[in-house]
Amino acid sequence: MTGSDGIERIPTGINGFDQIALGGLPAKRSTLVTGTTGSGKTLFAMEFLARGVQTLDEPGVFVTFEEAPEDIRTNIASLGFPIKEWEAAGKWAFVDASADMSHEAPTIGAYDLGALTARIGHAVRRIGARRVALDSIGAVLTNLNNVGVIRHELYRIVSALNLLGTTTVVTAERPEEYDGVSRFGVEEFVLDNVIILRNVLRQERRRRTIEIVKFRGTNHRTGEWLFTIGPREGIVIMPLAFLRPRDRASTDRVSSGNEGLDAMCGGGFFRDAIVLLTGPTGTGKTLTSLFFAAAAVEAGERCLLQTFDETHEQLGRNAASWGLDLEAMESSGLLHVVSEYPEVASPEEHFLRIRRVIEEFHPTRVAIDTLSALERIVSSRALLDFVIALGAVLRHNEITTLLTSAPTGRVTPTVTPAIAMEVASLTDVTILLRYVEARGEIQRGIAVLQSRGSAHDHSIRQFEIDDSGMHIGEPMRGLSNVLSTPYPVTGGLPHDNPATGDAPQNLWNSRKPGADSDG
């Protein structure tokens, strides 16, 4: 394809990368992919070739300096790439320089890459290769005795490949994540394009990012982009890999599992809606998630219930306390429950796991309880990327989704408004649960802040939780600032005695005493 700048591009097929590159790598040019150990350089090179064969029927040559071809075949097998079959069909060829490098004595004086260049050229012509990957060029450059020779020999091999008309990826090591681009400091000047992969340890967790530093003579998206590596998906750049337009917006309604909440939302949720429910501990988030799932089962629909706060046994016990049989719902084949703590994986890995379940289980509803738990392992930006990517997958598949969050979390308006507004902009319905104190009693209030494309109840309604679930009652009159301030509010409940001076208070982060439990 040809970009808006007139430069022909060749799609890599790597999940999300072509969106950053505005169509792919510039065709018939060489690209340097550099990074520290474990950043994903070899995988990028392998995927570039494999997806070219798989999706565009473009043969490729893989030049390996450090790993034997058999090891590469094994390492990439989990992604479903039949390298041996492609070799037999003349779609893939190895140029194995690993044995040469392992027996090469330290060189004093000149070192000539001419023979290697000839071998690569022969392999390209033999299978009609359109793509070439060299991994990793640093292994051979260390045999050259000065920077001038390194630059000359690297230029010679790259020029030869450009003359053959191939699009080439060359990987190289770099010693530091944010100090220079390459090991020798000349590689980035010789090659037309430069991509940096980073693998940074922050808050005891690894965070991978990709950045296009240079596309000579053509445009690209700037900045670092978060990516992860899945055992089946390969490199996945979030959230760009999943953003895609939809042809339609659903007008069908589904029940939340609570008649009162359905009425407040104008008759239920739109089928493709993403709903954000926020509230402190004990206000009914898990309860709402369970009844949302039960409504799906009752309607004969499949539902995925993902919980990050409780074990499967705790969730079943809580469901039973409200008259719901979690085991029976699961046995019906309509409910799939995943219960795991955030710490067992990165947020990107959690996302890929959820996406796999969606692809294999095909739910029409998803409930995630709670997003706040993920904040123990994730930055604000990464949490937002998680929600954006998840939302893209859910909307594309027209899945009704309920996300819950606690007010101590970054997605709650009173804590960090910037992130809260960004998350709210991604959801269709926003529901807030709050505690209000009056006359020495704690009461609960519920409000629907937004319901896109639908009329909704603008009142703050009182609700109760008992052993049969949540019961939404009458509007709570005379309140002000209940939803926007952690401080006591003025005004009275419907039956307050003005003479007593009892004013209701908004208890943002209080834990509710008593036997009632949200789970």
Domain boundaries, the chain: 9-237, 253-506
Give the closest residue to 76 by CA, choosing from 56, 98, 50, 95. Answer: 50
Tokens representing 135 are 């991994």
Residue 420 has what pLDDT?
Answer: 55
CATH 3.40.50.720 is right for the domain spanning 253-506? no
Q: What is the mean pLDDT of residues 34-41?
A: 91
What's the pLDDT at 4? 61
Tokens coding 28: 């018939």
Q: Considering only the top CATH level, what class is 9-237? A: alpha beta
Q: What is the pLDDT of residue 517?
A: 42
Q: In this structure, what are the phi and psi dihedrals at residue 127, rounded to the nearest 5 degrees?
A: -110, 0
How sure is the predictor about 55, in pLDDT bands with cuts at 50, 70 and 90?
very high
Are the C-beta atoms of 393 and 358 separated by less than 8 Å? yes
Q: Token pair for residue 342?
A: 């955030």
For residue 221, the model assigns a pLDDT of 92
What are the tens digits of pLDDT across the range 241-263? 787 776 678 889 999 999 999 99
- What is the C-alpha separation between 465 and 479, in angstroms, rounded? 21
Say yes or no: do domains 9-237 and 253-506 share a fold.
Answer: yes
Predicted TM-score of the model (pTM) = 0.78
Please tell me the distance from the alpha carbon of residue 484 to that of residue 263, in angstroms, as a whole number: 24
- Strands (DSSP E) found in 265-343: 269-270, 274-278, 303-307, 335-339
Q: Which one is predicted more confidently, 326 or 203?
A: 326
